[in-house]
Structure formats: C-alpha cells, structure tokens
Amino acid sequence: MREILEAIGKAIVEGEEEETRRLVEEALQGGVDPRKILEDAMMPAMEDIGERFSRGEAFIPELIVAAEAMQRGMEALKPRLAEGERGRGLVVLGTVQGDIHSIGKNLVRMCLEGAGFEVVDIGEDVKTERFVEAYREHRPDILGLSALLSSTMQRIPEVIEAVRAEDSGALIMVGGAPVTQEFADRSGADGYAPNAFEAARKAKELLG
Ligand code: B12
C-alpha cells in the first residue's frame, strides 16, 4: 500500500493529472480507505509543493499543475466520499474575496456531502456582499468560509459581521490553512475545523 500512496503523491507533485486519477482509482479498487489516500498521499503532496514554493524551488506553474492533478484525483475520490445519508441540513460554502484557492473548500464540500449535508458552493473570490446575498437567498443552516492567505483571512470577521447584521443567529464555520481556533473565536465564528473530515464532524455538532 505504501508504494501506491507514494506514487499518488509523486504524480501530484509532478502535475500528472491522468496518472493521479488512474492511481487513485487503482488504490480504491485495491481496497485502500479514501481517507487514507487523502491524508497520507494527496494532502502531504500539496504541502510538499507548497514548501518547495516557499523555498523558491517551485514556481506558480508547478503549483497550478499540481493543483490540477490534485483536483483530478479528488474527482476519483468523490463518489466514495459522497456516499451516505442525506438531509442533515444545508451549507453555503465559499472562499473569501481576493482568494482563489479552491481545493480545500472543494474537499470540505465533498466531506460535508458525504456526511449527508446539501452544499451550495458559491465559489472562490466571493465578495462579502455576495455572501450576504447567498445567505439571504438560501437561508442555510450553516455558512462556511474558507481562506488560504493570511491577507484574505482578514475578510472572515468582515463577512461574519455582515451576515450577522442580516441574521443575528446565523451559524458560521471557518477554515483554511492560516486559520486557527483562536482566530475563529476572535472573529466570532461558531465553529472551526483544521481539515475536511473535522469540518463534517463540526457541522453535525453545530446542528446538534
Ligand atoms: C495549490 C496552491 C495554489 C494554487 C491554487 C489552485 C486552486 N485551484 O486551489 C494557485 C497556484 C492558484 C495558488 C496561488 C497563490 N498562492 Co497558493 N498555495 C497552494 C498550496 C500549494 C496548496 C493549497 C491546497 O490546496 N492545499 C490542500 C488543501 C487540501 O488544504 P487546505 O486548502 O488547507 O484545506 C484544508 C483545511 O484548511 C480545511 N479548510 C479549508 N477551507 C475550509 C473551510 C471551512 C469552513 C472549514 C471548516 C475547513 C476548511 O479543510 C481543507 C481540507 O482538509 C499552498 C501551500 C499549503 N501548504 O497550503 C499555497 C499557499 C496557500 N499559497 C500561497 C501564496 C502566497 C499564493 C499566491 C499569493 C502566490 C503568488 N505570488 O501569486 C497566489 C494567491 C492567489 C489568490 N489570490 O488566491 C501561500 C500563502 C501564504 C500565506 N500564509 O498567506 C501558501 C501557503 C504557499 C507558501 N508556502 O507560501 N496557490
């Protein structure tokens, strides 16, 4: 099993989209737990490419192709993560303004769907007013905000304040690599989770 997980990580880092998808399917067929594929192969690969980028050893084009390979692998995982019960509640999910990172949000969506939530994904680079509009339109049980940059995470308290002006009882969950429990608390969020699996657990907990 270690070989195939390593091969998946390598395919992502090298941006091999088709190979990533094929290997993820092969691992699933071989009985490897989808959560293990995500946590032990796919996520570490994204961290690896991120660290190389920080050290100046990888550049934006490499980040983009790795992200595309990651997304392709996620397509193969989706049916397995999304199977299960339905009707737990509605979540509106988006990445804040100025931030185009989508992978983490998409994974949170898949895990929430897998846990039985209906998810309206309003995309990336979502303006604060658009969050308020989407809240008004869908009246979700939970609003989820994602931010991957230390600059854009500053939008989180702004969105929370604007949405609470619309509905003081709105339940809001936040996450993304730079976001911490402490930041979430300071921003007035109801919930924080460090990864997609915990996000689904937290959402269930928030709705009792
Ligand atoms: C892929 C990537 C990109 C891709 C994104 C493609 C895409 N479609 O998403 C591209 C190339 C576009 C990109 C661009 C940039 N990036 Co970038 N990127 C990354 C990288 C390598 C991986 C991110 C990722 O997908 N991780 C994998 C997923 C699974 O993890 P995740 O996103 O953290 O999500 C999990 C949790 O955080 C949580 N979660 C996420 N959202 C939510 C929401 C809720 C409600 C909850 C509960 C939980 C939750 O659950 C998720 C799943 O488990 C990271 C490095 C890293 N280590 O994070 C840098 C990184 C985030 N990027 C960085 C930077 C600087 C940039 C750029 C500014 C680069 C530039 N000079 O142009 C631009 C900014 C573009 C913009 N305006 O948004 C920095 C951010 C530094 C900082 N702290 O601000 C990082 C950390 C790289 C680095 N080490 O310097 N990037």
Look at the domain 89-206 and name its fold.
Rossmann fold (3.40.50)
**pLDDT tens for the 208 residues of the chain, in order:** 899 999 999 999 999 999 999 999 999 999 999 999 999 999 999 999 999 999 999 999 999 999 999 999 999 998 888 776 678 899 999 999 999 999 999 999 989 998 899 999 999 999 999 999 999 999 999 999 999 999 999 999 999 999 999 999 999 999 999 999 999 999 999 999 999 989 999 999 999 8
Would you say domain 2-81 falls under CATH 3.10.180.10? no
- Relative to the CA of 49, which ligand 1 atom is closest? 21
The full 3-state SS of the chain, as one line of letters, equals CHHHHHHHHHHHHCCCHHHHHHHHHHHHHCCCCHHHHHHHHHHHHHHHHHHHHHCCCCCHHHHHHHHHHHHHHHHHHHHHHCCCCCCCEEEEEEEECCCCCCHHHHHHHHHHHHCCEEEEECCCCECHHHHHHHHHHHCCCEEEEECCCCCHHHHHHHHHHHHHHHCCCCCEEEECCCCCHHHHHHHCCCEECCCHHHHHHHHHHHCC
Q: Where are the domains of the chain?
A: 2-81, 89-206
Minimum CA distance residue for ligand 1 atom 72: 60
User: Is residue 65 lining ligand 1, measured as CB closer than 6 Å?
Assistant: no
